């Protein structure tokens, strides 16, 4: 495993979240929601939930996010669902990204499942 550069090793989960949201918005993510799950979950700090207009759009968003985070020399510890493109999960430890084809998102309703989590405005995150 390659050593992570010091300047990226110390990146906070909020800074990682900011990078992920910026890339998702650049790739035209729809209905981007950020849930702060720090007080109700012990496995993540933030959930990012977004929709795409097609499975190819969802795959493109996932690829762009993973490439950007990879360029920061941080790799996702787990990626699920990329081949199908209905629901792609990117797990960056403190930040978990859920990218859905819009119909699949409605069915699973993660926002309803985690309704106790405060929402953050992705447009007002710190710029990294």
pLDDT of residue 52: 95
Mean predicted lDDT score pLDDT of the chain = 83
Q: What is the pLDDT of residues 83-121, one digit of tens each?
A: 788 999 988 878 999 999 988 998 988 888 898 999 999
State the DSSP H helix or E strand holding residue 106, giving kind and residue range, or none if neither. helix 102-108
| 98 within some domain | yes
Tokens of 68: 């950007």
| 8 within some domain | no
pLDDT band for position 5 (cuts 50, 70, 90): very low
Q: What pTM was computed for the model?
A: 0.85
| 6 within some domain | no
pLDDT of residue 27: 97
| 45 within some domain | yes
The whole domain housing 89 covers 13-124
Q: How far apart, in whole angstroms, are the C-alpha atoms of residue 33 and residue 24?
A: 11
Tokens of 36: 């702060």
| 99 within some domain | yes
Q: Answer yes or no: are the C-beta atoms of 48 and 77 closer than 8 Å.
A: no
Q: What is the pLDDT of residues 10-19, one digit of tens each?
A: 678 888 899 9
Looking at the structure of the chain, the number of domains it has is 1
Q: How far apart, in whole angstroms, are the C-alpha atoms of residue 112 and residue 110?
A: 5
pLDDT of residue 114: 92
Q: How far apart, in whole angstroms, are the C-alpha atoms of residue 47 and residue 34?
A: 6
| 7 within some domain | no
Q: How far apart, in whole angstroms, are the C-alpha atoms of residue 79 and residue 76?
A: 7
Q: What is the pLDDT of residues 43-53, one digit of tens each?
A: 899 999 999 99
Residue 119: CB atoms within 10 A of its CB come to 12
Residue 75 has pLDDT above 90, yes or no: no
Strands 119-120 and 95-101: unpaired
Q: Which CATH number is 120's domain given?
A: 3.30.460.10
| 96 within some domain | yes
Residue 6 has pLDDT above 80, yes or no: no
CA torsion 26→8→87→57, rounded to 10°? 30
């Amino acid at each position: 495993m390659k050593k992570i550069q010091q300047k990226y090793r110390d990146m906070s989960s909020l800074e990682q979240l900011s990078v992920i949201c910026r890339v998702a918005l650049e790739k035209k993510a729809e209905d981007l929601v950020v849930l702060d799950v720090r007080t109700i979950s012990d496995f993540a700090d933030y959930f990012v939930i977004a929709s795409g207009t097609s499975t190819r759009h969802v795959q493109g968003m996932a690829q762009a996010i993973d490439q950007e985070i990879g360029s920061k020399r941080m790799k996702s510890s787990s990626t699920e669902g990329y081949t199908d493109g209905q629901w792609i999960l990117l797990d960056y430890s403190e930040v978990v990204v859920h990218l859905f084809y819009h119909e699949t998102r409605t069915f699973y309703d993660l926002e309803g499942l985690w309704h106790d989590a405060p929402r953050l405005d992705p447009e007002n995150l710190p710029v990294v």
